[in-house]
Amino acid sequence: MDFRKSMSIKIETALPADEMVTSKNVDLSNCDREQVQYPGAIQPHGFMLVTKIPGYSILQASSNTAAFLGVKASDLLGCNLSAVLSEEQVVSIDGRLKRENFEGAPLHVASATLEGNNFDVQAHRMGESLLLEFELRTVDQAFAASSSNLDDKYALFQRIHQAISRMSHSTDLQSFLDAATEEAFYLTGYERVLVYRFLEDGSGWVCSERLSPGLEPFLGLHYPPSDIPLPARRLFSLTWVRHQPDISYTPVRMVPELNPLTGQALDMSYALLRSVSVMYVDYLKNMGTQSSLVMTLMKEGRLWGMIACHHSSSVKHVPYEIRAACEILAHMVSLCMASKESEEQAEFKLSLRDKRSEFVRKVAGQADFAAALEEFAPDLLGLVRADGAAAVVNGKILTVGITPTAHEIQCIVAWLCAQPKQSVFSTAHLSSHMPEANEFASAAAGLTALCFNNPQKDFFLWFRPEILQTVNWAGDPNKPVDITDNGQRLTPRKSFALWKETVRWKSDPWLDVEVDAVKDLRSSLLELVLRKAEELGRLYDDLRSSYSELDAFAYAAAHDLKEPLRGIHAYAEMILDEDLEKLDNSSKAKVESIRRLAARMDQLINSLLSYSRIGLEFLIHEELDLNVVLADALDSLSVLLKQYPAKVQIMPHMPTLYGDRQRVLEVFTNLISNAIKYNDKPIKIVDVGFRASEQAEGVIFFVRDNGIGIAERHREDIFRIFHRLHGREQYGGGNGAGLTIVKKILELHGGRIWIESVCREGTSFLFSFGNNTNRSS
Amino acid sequence: MLQPEKTVLIVEDSDTDYEIVCWAFRKMPNAPRLLRFSNGELALAYLDGLTSNQAQGPIDYPSLVLIDLNLPGIAGVQVLRQIRNSPGTSSLPIVIFSSSSREGDIEQCYRSGANSYVIKPLKLDDMLQTMEIIVSYWLHCVALPKTTHPRSAKLSS
């Protein structure tokens, strides 16, 4: 696998020289633009030759060649590479160059012994130039001590194998990173190894650390973006491993300074020996570091962080083999980290999903959706990580955990309703959207809202309290600079003492998976509501058809009863009419009873017929002037009124009503006739009128009498069919169906009826026609 | 001058109800003759035979038809419609005689061409009074077209 390729990133062309920020003029104000890839110099733990491709004549050399080769750099220019390396090595390099191209990170192409020193030779190309880096080979003391001998390649393989197997056994991201830190610590022998993770804004923090005893930990510290400026972050993403054995080095200039082929400074983006930015050197020095090795961690093609190794007690050279092992380690960590992170997220997502389906299942199990939401509102808290939750259903607010007050929740809902339509709204900083939210930030600095029925203003809300987010900065991020004694250059701050910054009005941020979970909950609920509505519709249809079946049955039964009854009655009458003289008195009385009973049964059947007919026949709704309807009612009661004189007083300006004329007339006629009949006062008074109601129905009607009254215990009974409180011949007779019919008519209009009564003083029947009534002048 | 005896055709499945009607007719002076069919098919077949068979005597032509609604086989309304729709009988006066007081029934009968709709009363006195009114109105009071007579309908067509 050629993982070098995966890091190749296009390098921007150099800016014109006068605009260029280089090591000569860099300070903190412009370090974001420093052309760190053009330092024009290298670190001194090796030398560099730049040759032309093809031909390998030397174009540039580092000015320290004399120290290693005994030949001055200027004397090497124009010579062939074979002046330094053997003929076979040059041929071998040429062969590989043709096959492997050599672009990107350097490849180990040869080992050479020159003037008694061992060198690792690594090569890569930049355009038509071949950069050959001769790195002085050292024996790594730490590693040599721990594993017999660096030449024993198997020891290194084992080391890497162990590292990988250990990391792959870690269960979560943190322990995985801790394992990686630990392995890098043993592999490099550095005193401090830490994992530094970049945040969205370019700042970063130390999320894992392994230290030699006695050092001050950096774990948990945050660093401002200026500490690792953009160009440095970009270079980090080009190579897996960068090594500065000695921070306090003196840069070695290239001779000549400009590449003869390009006429520009040499692009050292990939060079191992590249001299690093003075800003970076100052920064490391301020931290007390003498030697550093940095491994890059990538996730999905983007710089995620790095494993930084710092050594403060001495200069430290890490040999090529160890760095190659570090490269494998960094690459492994990068590959596994992505999957560890997604694994963790997937697990969390799964747990959210389980809770969500449990919740939906419970709600679905209840017949009444709103009631189910009330019952299971406490479960809302488990659906996403939150400290409080509220369900706002039908204007009712149910809360669980730490929430704002009901009034504040109403304000939030009102604010949400005023926003552009959005099914799920989520913020970790509510007061940045809704300034008044500052007042209840202790309960709801962060809000995730789910609207599942906008016209009804039904919401689920989850709250997170303000966490006075404490960021432990390594020094004050607002003053990341110290001015050097001569005041000429701003340098990265010397103080790395802990500096706490408090972030106000904010909550722990909501994760994407949590917001997604809420969105999924919404679609599940909507589906549920739809299904419920369908069920309800079906149930209603069933109920209606069984009601009308019942009415149809009652009607047919009653109808069929009438015929034989008519026969019984007729024969009894015929006997009384024609055979009277043949009967004795006792028989005559019995036949008379048959006739009377048949007549009464006929009345009952008629009542049953008219009651069942109400349910069978459609109501014909029309605008009714109750003043007219009541006049008609009095008209039809005129016979009764002659028999039982009474004072019927109808309130002027009765409202209009939307209803079935015949049925509404029946209601008033029935109630008024009851009021007249069940009355033993010398002056019978019946008042008919209306008053406003606080309920949605708007208007309540009444028929009030000064009659015999109805005892409390009978107030439900009187609406039952054929139920009579008095003897059948008492109070003008009646068959006990009238009030049942009245009640049914009112219910069919969406209204209701009830009683207020005082025994022996009178009764008020109060009733409404639902919201079918209009007040009119 | 002695009026020729008239005939009232009655379609009634209930023996009891028929007997009650007979009782009322017996109480009436100059009562017309009653011709009963206990279902619609028989009645329609009889009327159909009248218009096709010239040998029948005049006494057999009904001057009025009484139909009960609730009949076995063809429903009363259907009998009413067929009489109305058949050219030979389309102008016969028809009175529906039913125990149903349902508005739907009443309306449907008038729409289908009934001349009257009478709800069967319970009391014998009421029955007698009702029958007297019907008979005196349709048989003695009103003038009817000649075509009412099935044969003349046949002849004129």
Query: Which of A193, A198, A228 has the alpha carbon at shortest distance from A212?
Result: A193
The residue assigned the tokens 């449990």 is A358
Mean predicted confidence (pLDDT) in B32-58 = 80
Q: What is the pLDDT of residue A22?
A: 61
Phi, psi of A457 (to 5 degrees): 55, 45
Query: Do B124 and A613 lie within an 8 Å CB cutoff?
Result: no
Return the number of CB contacts < 8 Å for A and B. 47
The pairs formed by A68-71 with CB atoms below 8 angstroms and a separation of 24 or more are: A68/A114, A68/A115, A68/A117, A68/A119, A68/A134, A68/A136, A69/A114, A69/A115, A70/A115
Task: Please provide residue A280's backbone torsions phi and psi, each rounded to the nearest 5 degrees.
Answer: -70, -40
Residue B129 forms contact with A (CB below 8 Å): no
What ipTM was predicted for this assembly?
A: 0.74
Q: Are A667 and A711 in contact (CB under 8 A)?
A: no
Task: Write the CA distances from A672 to A537, A637, A763, A768, B136, integer angstroms.
Answer: 38, 8, 11, 16, 40
**Which residues touch A396 (CB under 8 Å, ≥6 apart)?**
A374
The residues, ordered by sequence, that sit 6+ positions from A592 with a Cβ below 8 Å of its Cβ are: A572, A576
Distances (CA, A) of A29 to A227, A279, A282, A584, A682: 12, 11, 15, 133, 107
Residues linked to residue A400 through DSSP beta bridges, in sequence order: A389
The CA distance from A536 to A529, in Å, is: 10
Which pair of tokens denotes residue A717?
């009974």
Q: Do residue B99 and residue A566 have CB atoms under 8 angstroms apart?
A: yes
| Residue A574 to residue B23, Cβ atoms within 8 A | yes
Residues in chain A: 777
Q: A555 to chain B: which residues are within 8 Å by CB?
A: 102
Q: What pairing do the DSSP bridges indicate for beta strands A252-255 and A258-259? A: unpaired
Cα–Cα nearest to B66, from B50, B51, B45, B80: B80
Question: Which of B13, B97, B103, B122 to mutate against chain A (most A CBs within 10 Å)?
Answer: B122
Q: Is the dihedral of CA B127, B130, B134, B135 positive or negative?
A: positive
Residue B75 burial (CB count, 10 A):
15
pLDDT value at residue B142: 87
| Between residues A34 and A63, the one the model is more confident about | A63
Tell me the two tokens of residue A228. Answer: 């690792």
- Among chain A residues, the shortest Cα distance to B124 is held by A570
Contact call for residues B54 and B151 (beta carbons, < 8 A): yes
- A711-748 pLDDT tens trace: 888 877 788 877 767 766 667 666 678 888 899 888 88
The DSSP annotation for A234-253 comes to: HHHTT-SEEEES-TTPPPEE
Residues B99, A559: C-beta atoms closer than 8 Å = yes
How far is Cα A744 from Cα A319, in angstroms, rounded to an integer?
A: 98
pLDDT of residue A350: 87
Q: Which residues of A501-519 are buried (b: 16+ CB within 10 A; e: fewer)?
A: eeeebbbbebbebbbebbe
Residue of B22, B70, B71, B99 to mutate, interface with A, max A Cβ within 10 Å: B99
Three-state SS for A389? strand
Predicted confidence (pLDDT) per residue in A656-692, tens digit? 888 888 889 999 999 999 899 888 888 999 999 998 8
pTM of the shown model: 0.52
Q: Which of A721, A715, A729 is nearest to A764 (CA)?
A: A715
- Of the given ranges (A95-104, A247-256, A477-486, B92-101), which has the lowest mean pLDDT? A477-486
Chain B residues lying within 8 Å of A615, measured CB to CB: none
> What is the 3-state secondary structure of A87-115?
HHHHHHHHHHHHHHCCECCCEEEEEEEEC
**Amino acid (one-letter) located at A421:** K
Closest CA to B113 of B70, B82, B87: B82
Question: Stretch A163-180: mean pLDDT, rounded?
Answer: 85
**Is A305's pLDDT higher than 80?**
yes
List the beta bridge partners of residue A392: A397, A459
CA separation (Å) from A179 to A128, A175, A187, A586? 42, 6, 12, 115
Residue B21 — pLDDT band, cuts 50, 70, 90?
Answer: very high
* Residue of chain A whose alpha carbon sits nearest to that of B127: A570
Per-residue pLDDT reduced to its tens digit, A377-405? 788 888 888 888 988 887 788 888 888 88
Lowest mean pLDDT among A182-191, A487-496, B127-136: A487-496
- Phi, psi angles (nearest 5°) of residue A273: -90, 0
Chain A positions contacting chain B at CB under 8 Å are 555, 559, 562-567, 569-571, 573-574, 577, 598-599, 602, 606, 609, 613, 617
Residues B11/B14/B17/B18 CA torsion (nearest 10 deg): 50
Give me the residues of B, 24-63, that contact A with CB < 8 A. Answer: none
Q: Are A275 and A42 in contact (CB under 8 A)?
A: yes
Residues of A in contact with B125 (CB under 8 A): 573
Q: Residue A132: what pLDDT?
A: 92
Q: Check if the beta carbon of residue A312 is closer than 8 Å to that of residue A288.
A: yes
Q: Give the pLDDT confidence of A110-139 residue by residue, as tens digits.
A: 888 888 888 889 999 888 899 999 998 876
pLDDT tens, residue by residue, B95-150: 999 988 888 889 999 999 999 999 999 888 899 999 999 999 998 888 877 655 54
Across the interface, whether the CB atoms of B20 and A570 are under 8 A apart is answered yes
User: Closest chain A residue to B14 measured between Cα atoms?
Assistant: A563
Best of A555, A565, A568, A573 to disrupt the B interface (most B CBs within 10 Å) is A573
User: What's the whole-number mean pLDDT along residues A256-265?
Assistant: 86
pLDDT, one tens digit per residue, over A40-71 is 889 998 999 999 888 888 999 999 888 888 88
- Residue labelled with tokens 């319970």: B122
Are A762 and A753 a contacting pair, CB within 8 Å?
no
Are A261 and A125 in contact by the 8 Å Cβ rule? The answer is: no
Percent of chain A topping pLDDT 90: 14
| B79: number of Cβ within 10 Å | 27
**pLDDT at residue number B64:** 93
Look at A441 and A518; give whichever has higher pLDDT: A518
Strand boundaries in B28-142, DSSP class E: 33-37, 62-67, 94-98, 116-119
Q: Which residue of B has its CA nearest to A565?
A: B122
Average pLDDT score, chain A = 81
Cis upstream peptide for A54 (omega within 30°): yes
| A323 and A45 Cβ atoms separated by less than 8 Å | no
Helix axes A512-578 and A585-616, enclosed angle (nearest 10): 150
Q: How many of the other CB atoms lie within 10 Å of CB of B78?
A: 15
Q: Is the pLDDT reported for residue A82 higher than 60?
A: yes
Task: Check whether B77 has a pLDDT greater than 90.
Answer: yes
Helices B15-27 and A512-578 cross at an angle (nearest 10°) of 40
Nearest to A50 by CA among A321, A264, A293, A323: A264
Q: What is the DSSP string of A567-581?
A: HHHHHHHHHHHHSGG
Q: Dihedrals φ, ψ of A711, to 5°?
A: -65, 150
Distance CA A613, CA A559 (A): 11
- Minimal Cα distance from A596: which residue of B? B123
Better-predicted residue by pLDDT, A300 or A479: A300
What average pLDDT does the segment A623-630 reach? 91
Q: What is the pLDDT of residue A24?
A: 60
What whole-number distance in Å separates Cα of residue B94 and Cα of residue B102?
Answer: 19
Strand partners, A83: none
Q: Which of A627, A700, A639 is nearest to A665 (CA)?
A: A627
A275-284, A639-648, B34-43: the lowest-pLDDT one: A275-284
User: A310 or B104: whose pLDDT is higher?
Assistant: A310
Higher pLDDT among residues A228 and A411, named by residue: A411
Confidence check: pLDDT of A598 > 80 = yes
At A69, list the tokens: 């080769």
